[in-house]
Amino acid sequence: MKFLVITDLHQATDNIPWINGLIDEYSPEAVLCLGDITDMGTGEQAADIISQIKCKVYALPGNCDPRDLPQKISEVAVDMHGKSAQIGDLYIAGLGGSNITIFDTPFELKEEEIDSMLRPISKPGMLLMTHAPSYDIFDHIPNGTPVGSPAIRKIVEDFKPVLALSGHIHEDFGVQKIGDTVFCNPGPAKEKRAAVVEIAGKNVTVKMIEP
């Protein structure tokens, strides 16, 4: 099963042809969009952006997206905020927004909210897609401080997803396997970064797409 993973487009609509080019090149079953589709924009703008992607899209809101994004995109994408999906034998759980930041962005959640929304839909061996990263994994800002979510990290430790996808932190991206879980932040799509992920049972391969 193959997916194109994008995050943090931040309304860089000039990059949509590039995304569609990756779809043509890699023929993924779906696009997994990890949020920050807009840059403090509207739900209608997010829906318009997603509608231009020429593939089925499973999408989350990011912290810079509006609170009504899950509702607004529901006609053009599969809303994964606090929801799960089954694709073949692969179970996917998702949660958008971020843990609390210093920037007071539109879609922030307390750690207790993250746990209460994500834990009930989590299953062992799942594919986990979140906007915010696990604490201390692809979550370091330029001064080295980790700013990820302890609640998401605990979910990962408890359920051991085969793959944990996140975005949010533009400067700290890559692929790393810790224990049974492959972690990936593809980097911001606004900078023409993405990832192509293939999953076969417990085997995960990730190809990072760079500008």
**How buried is residue 198: exposed, middle or buried, by Cβ count under 10 Å (0-12/13-18/19+)?**
middle
Strands (E), 67-200: 78-79, 83-87, 90-95, 98-99, 108-109, 127-130, 163-165, 174-178, 181-185, 194-200
Question: Across residues 172-181, what is the average pLDDT?
Answer: 97
Q: What is the CATH number of the domain that holds 146?
A: 3.60.21.10
The per-residue pLDDT for 102 is: 95
The per-residue pLDDT for 134 is: 98
Q: For residue range 76-129, what is the model confidence (pLDDT) as tens digits?
A: 999 999 999 999 999 999 999 999 999 999 999 999 999 999 999 999 999 999
Q: How far apart are CA 113 and CA 116, in angstroms?
A: 5
Tell me how many domains the chain contains: 1
The whole domain housing 57 covers 2-209
